[in-house]
Amino acid sequence: MGQKVNPIGFRVGISRDWSSRWFAGKKDYADFALEDLEIRKILKKKFELAGIKSVDIERSLNEITIIVKVSKPGMVIGKGGLLAEEAKDLLKKATKSKVSLNVEEVKVPEIEAQLVADYICRQLKRRLPYRRVASAAATSAMDRGAKGVRIRLAGLLSGGNSIARTEIVYKGSVPAQTLRADIDYARVHCLMLYGMIGVKVWIYKGELEI
């Protein structure tokens, strides 16, 4: 069998930074880790349509700084910052620390793996042909500057009366074993009426200087 590893976890500490940046002792570590999961869950549910790429969390002694990277920042901030304040109120229920929420815009959503995977899932739920959707997403990423794209769909791709199978769309090169390669990766479980379709996306953006 092939030995597979998550491309992001493989590069953390080498060419990628951690998404949760804090240190805690044995006493607090589990509580903080669960808090981080709850914070991400709240934000992804609240801003589902804003196109969330990632949620980075930094902690100081009594304060949490949350950096949300989205393709549509207006849907997070809201008119006069109203939606952001609503989100802060929800987050204050999940943590005892002071909450600071920062929103950053994703300039090119077509080459962000999480946003591409979410887009594919939305199109599959609209019953569009899976080959056309995956191929269009890969072509769009290549047109916007990606060096390589790999999209893997698995499940009942042709509907409830079909046999489960895997379809892979490949464009360019994706050197998954090269540590200096800047590879963005995302996995989404797309729940359909007839079962789950797994969507995996790898996007190679070029080499980094390490």
What distance in Å separates the CA atoms of residue 39 and residue 96, rounded to the nearest whole number? 12
Q: Are 55 and 64 in contact (CB under 8 A)?
A: no
Could you report the per-residue pLDDT of 162-180, keeping only the tens digit for each?
A: 899 999 999 999 998 889 9
Q: Which of 119, 130, 55, 53 is nearest to 87 (CA)?
A: 55
User: Mean pLDDT of all residues in the chain?
Assistant: 90
The pLDDT confidence band at residue 118, using thresholds 50, 70 and 90, is very high
Instruction: Report the distance separating Cα 187 and Cα 198, nearest Å.
Output: 7
Predicted confidence at residue 1, as pLDDT, reads 53
Q: Is the pLDDT of residue 149 over 80?
A: yes
Average pLDDT over residues 177-203: 93
What topology does CATH give the domain 109-207? Ribosomal protein S3 C-terminal domain (3.30.1140)
Mean pLDDT value across residues 128-140:
94
Q: What is the mean pLDDT of residues 187-195?
A: 92
Go through 1-36 and write b for each residue having 16 or more CB atoms within 10 A of its CB, e for each that does not.
eeeeeebeebbeeebbeeebebeeeeeeeeebeebb
Lowest-confidence region among 74-78, 146-150, 198-202:
74-78
pLDDT score for 77: 84
Q: How confident is the model at residue 96 (pLDDT cuts 50, 70, 90)?
A: confident
Is the pTM of the predicted complex or chain greater than 0.85? yes
Give the residue extent of every domain in the chain: 7-105, 109-207
Q: Note the pLDDT of residue 205.
A: 93
Instruction: Give kind and range of the element (H or E) at residue 172.
Output: strand 165-172
Between 78 and 137, residue with greater pLDDT:
137
Spatial distance between the Cα atoms of 25 and 175, rounded to a whole number of angstroms:
37
7-105 — its CATH code?
A: 3.30.300.20
pLDDT of residue 2: 64
